[in-house]
A = this chain, B = another copy of it.
Amino acid sequence: AATVLAVPLSTPAIAQQNPKINWRLTSSFPKSLDTIYGGADDIAKHVAAATDGNFTIQPFAGGEIVPGLQAADAVSAGTVEMCHTCSYYFVGKDPTFAIGTAIPFGMNARLTNSWFYQGNGNTLMNEFYAKHQIYGMPAGNTGAQMGGWFRKEINTVDDFKGVKMRIAGIAGKVLEKLGAVPQQIAGGDIYPALEKGTIDAAEWVGPYDDHKLGFYKVAKYYYYPAFWEGGPTIHAFINLDKWNSLPKHYQSALTDACAFANTNMMAKYDLKNPMAIKQIVSQGTTLRPFSQDILEACYTAAMDVYKGISATNADFKKVYDDQVAFKKEGYLWMQLSEYTFDTFMMIQQRNGKI
């Protein structure tokens, strides 16, 4: 009898356990880039699966709801509940956004994750994001990107003088100090600009994505590394009120789905980039490392830029100083076992012994 009586009483509570919630996510990326756009799909699928289909997130490609570079604005305003984007696209509002993705001479993907998950990264960035009505979580990483496509060789620091290069944000400011002319151009417009010679150089991501966009057809030299993107994070940005109003277990499901997307995107790049770099080279591209002199000149220029921003922006200074302290320790540690192991394995690879 007690069991029978309990049914009508417990029904509302049980029914609310997994309430139906439908969100929209605007991505900053086109669907054709399955790697970086794929992160949004991962989030949506994993959240739906973990909540038995009750919490659904519908991803839209960049431009379908709002343009890719306005994704964070749409989240702040509550036009959409969330987006999948690069925090550094929004440096125009505040340079502190840049640290959420990557800054020149920042950290590799692994240290970036460590800073976010176990260091102060997520806490500090979310203190800052909250001022923009945003809650952010890492939800993808590309690994160290390539330095980009150049129509002429860049052998010395002076060779950067007058080079019109598609490169955004803080990295643009660094190259500007060397005499380059940074240009902000949306992904889809880079190829024609490079083809026509409106620009002399462009950076995008890495072999797999770059090959899709066909840059190897219009620029001969492919430089590495992108010292401005050692391990850039792709973020899930969620409207802060929407985040706070989610049931706790949906917050958890979304948190874990983002952790999965974060690891899975890096895994996908590491599977796909090797094949792509071989294709690119077989199609006639010349691979070149930036010289040590160039990297050092850019390092000095970057330190100047950080000093300048830190002098006038307390939020930036707070997060930047924390990340620098973390990075110093991280790169001490990684040069022991990690670096020695990788170096040895790379030598075996080069010698055809794997």
Contact = CB atoms under 8 A, between A and B. Distances in A.
Interface of A: 7-8, 10-11, 14-15, 17-18, 46, 49-53, 105, 107-111, 113-114, 116-119, 143-147, 206-207, 224-227, 230, 247-249, 252-253, 255-257, 259-260, 262-264, 266-268, 270-271, 273-275, 277-278, 287, 289-290, 292, 295, 299, 324, 326-346, 348-350, 353-354
- For the complex of A and B, the 10 pairs showing the least CB-CB separation, nearest first, are A256-B256, A225-B337, A49-B252, A114-B270, A274-B329, A144-B337, A117-B267, A274-B333, A331-B349, A259-B260
Nearest to A226: B337
Contacts of A338: 108, 143-144, 225
Given A17-B17, A114-B270, A334-B346, 5 more contacts: A11-B14, A114-B266, A143-B337, A224-B340, A271-B326
B262 A263 contact: yes
A270 B349 CA distance: 26
8 contacts: A50-B252, A113-B263, A119-B271, A230-B341, A259-B259, A278-B332, A324-B354, A328-B354
Contacts of A249: 49-53
Contacts of A225: 336-338, 340-341, 344
Given A256-B50, A289-B340, A333 B277 contact: yes
Contact of A287 (B248, B328, B336, B353): B336
